[in-house]
Structure 1
């Protein structure tokens, strides 16, 4: 499989795909090693994780350089590798605190029975991760699953696979880890093989693909933890600090070139401050610099060619229906890379694709509202419910508005805070996801099944219990 370089447009890397039988063999090897792995104490698994942290640090520069090619983002690549070190440290600290199966206790409903509980980790957890933050989203589920005692079959996206080379070296340096964590290379067929050989699936990606994976998991009767797309709204109330709101909205919409599921993608601004908001954000959007020189600038090219096509289609659809382009507006080929400057759109509405379909690009469509009820109706007029933002100087008012937004996480006076805050448990609403939270303590606890041991301390009931004459 030839892999495109997002900066040059050249297909300069070859990914050798794992055939289904290879994936099956890797899963079997994990299952064999899992018999020992899950019997280790949580502290012993932390010790192995700490060894991996050491080897990961050794290969960190190499992994970051590979990520920088995969994504055409040097600074964010360094942030991703640093974030993984933070995750390893955080779960090494928090995991042992959380692993605390309840002590044996008497049953409240059957007084002669003692209840014991065991937490049983899944054998093989399949992790299928996307291309936008390739390393972080590959390991955000993998690390707590391993610590819980699961083995992991990990398939990162075939769009951004280069970083796997360095990552695999860091894993191989820790034999105990390499036995229960194996990488899978390939596209859709490899992904199907992961689903077919796992006991639980963690998938991050688009809604259409997530639905297919969810259906395949249902067919096999295994759990699917699905983190899917978003169309995050921002509501900017009349009393909002415009400097705060425009800074946060711009960063959320176009940071990482808008290629994040929690990016703000539709902005609703009170009519009394609408003109001032638009004026300020246009000025700031125009000042954003592109990294056509990879050593300077703020915003890189689009990673995935098909996504670039979708972004241009949304812009064209909006313009054909009356939208105005105030900045940007065109996906351009610069030295082989596909670039889109921050694009501010006004005169938009919900008849346009840009206001209802996920964009995954640096577009800022803005509508004005006259009442809070209208803003909430528009914010909730979506199949998505990932996250959202509310801006207001009145903290209580912002929280009140946030309580009516149908989404799993609401940032107040900022945008996309879920990319910084990992310890707040949340669930995605609507089609943005399903099942246990990857954030907060649930990100670890969801990898256990609860087994009850029911211990009778008295003589068991006999068949005399069913004697009709004694009723």
Structure 2
């Protein structure tokens, strides 16, 4: 894939960028190494001041950043603004909390170890490679970069090739806040060159958000180099609706969750498992609401759903729907890509999906929802867990016993009760099974890329 800004709403290539040469990549890694020597000796107060200043820059430029994101990957302006502001908020969260998150503990009764004292401490490890996707070009990076830099590490970003302007914006953002030169560096390189960077001894660890094959590849390289990785590899999140739920709220949230970011989020609800007592009413209301959304120019404030980010993404999504329809599934709304420019695909609802269809098992990365009729909570859990993924989930019920049974029974990194799956800096984020390993955000996220040292004193 060329390193270029191709507007998804028009299909027009707006800017192209030359990949960094091997010499340029080498120099950028050297910059990260040099910056680490400074960062590791700086104080939490130093880094917090720089991080807050960088957050101020991002917040002040939120409108400019939003238009860049909309142009590069097609999300609506409202959601692009929200992404920029959420990123700034998370930067401040780590500025405020990093020191307490990385305070070691004093060991009680050290005499049991023949010591006068013992304690633990967390220390930064060095340059960390981040391989990031296009769906949240700023947020995905910030949720790694903010804790990594506050811990005293430096970052190297290999961003998706269709969001180079976002990558270059992030390349300078932290230095504009006061971080030492080289603290965060973007590498404009194709995916084929990631392995060489990962095997570079100056790079000590990596994090990746992306496809399962990409994650397996990076993890394999990291394993052979004995380097730590954090992987977030997507999901096919269940959204369970039981008879006691507030159906109006469930339907409204289902629409928002399935179409947020034009349906291109790892934690979008994708499979809707609805109890038979409310199934017909849910499908009718959900179909109506999805069909009523406005699809169009993402720079128009009245647009609900913009284009998919890539032509191949639309082809893949349409292929899933066409496969299901050809095998007997029913499309209650949408299901046909419109004619004309841009990579648009309408909000789509599919019922009658079974295990013979690709849509049953594969992640639909776009505004396509599958709805299943279930007889009870046990059947809902069976279908919900019948997937290789386990990122997030949502349950809608006002029965306390049922809620507890569903929370305990779901194999997922998170469960949201009577609400929409979303990431918060206060909550750890990550999945089980093929959805990845490790956690981002909260205290767990900042502790992924530090070394825990034990100290014993005679």
TM-score under structure 2 length normalisation:
0.94
Superposed CA offset, 1:167-194 (max 9, x none):
3443443453432111111320343344
d(CA) in 1 for partners of 2:366, 2:407? 25
Instruction: Indicate conservation of the 8 Å contact 2:36/2:154, yes or no.
Output: yes
Three-state SS of the structure 1 residue aligned to 2:164 is coil
Structure-1 residue corresponding to 2:129: 126
Structure-1 residue corresponding to 2:416: 411
Shift of residue 245, structure 1, vs aligned partner: 1.4
d(CA) in 2 for partners of 1:408, 1:167? 28
Find out whether 1:322 has 2:324 as its counterpart.
no
Q: 1:55 to 1:425 in 2, by over 3 A?
A: closer
Shift of residue 16, structure 1, vs aligned partner: 1.7
Structure-2 residue corresponding to 1:463: none
Shift of residue 290, structure 1, vs aligned partner: 1.2
Structure-1 residue corresponding to 2:250: 245
d(CA) in 2 for partners of 1:58, 1:165? 17
Instruction: Indicate conservation of the 8 Å contact 1:115/1:452, yes or no.
Output: yes
Q: 1:303 to 1:382 in 2, by over 3 A?
A: same
Bigger radius of gyration among the two: 1
Structure-2 residue corresponding to 1:80: 83
Shift of residue 237, structure 1, vs aligned partner: 1.2
Shift of residue 342, structure 1, vs aligned partner: 0.9
Q: How does 1:23-422 map to 2 (within 5 A)?
A: 23-72=25-74, 73-103=76-106, 107=110, 109-112=112-115, 114-174=117-177, 176-197=179-200, 198-292=203-297, 294-295=299-300, 296-334=302-340, 336-416=341-421, 418-419=422-423, 421-422=424-425
Three-state SS of the structure 2 residue aligned to 1:441 is helix
Superposed CA offset, 1:342-401 (max 9, x none):
111111112211121011111111111113222111111110000111111224422321
d(CA) in 1 for partners of 2:167, 2:136? 13
d(CA) in 2 for partners of 1:190, 1:261? 25
Q: 1:317 to 1:183 in 2, by over 3 A?
A: same
Superposed CA offset, 1:69-115 (max 9, x none):
11222111111111121011111111122232234765364224632
- Alignment: residue pair count: 452
Superposed CA offset, 1:191-212 (max 9, x none):
3344233211111111111111
Three-state SS of the structure 2 residue aligned to 1:273 is helix
Gaps of at least 5 residues in structure 1 are 458-471
TM-score under structure 1 length normalisation:
0.91
Three-state SS of the structure 2 residue aligned to 1:88 is helix
Superposed CA offset, 1:254-291 (max 9, x none):
12211000011111111121111111111111111113
d(CA) in 2 for partners of 1:165, 1:309? 29
Find out whether 1:434 has 2:437 as its counterpart.
yes
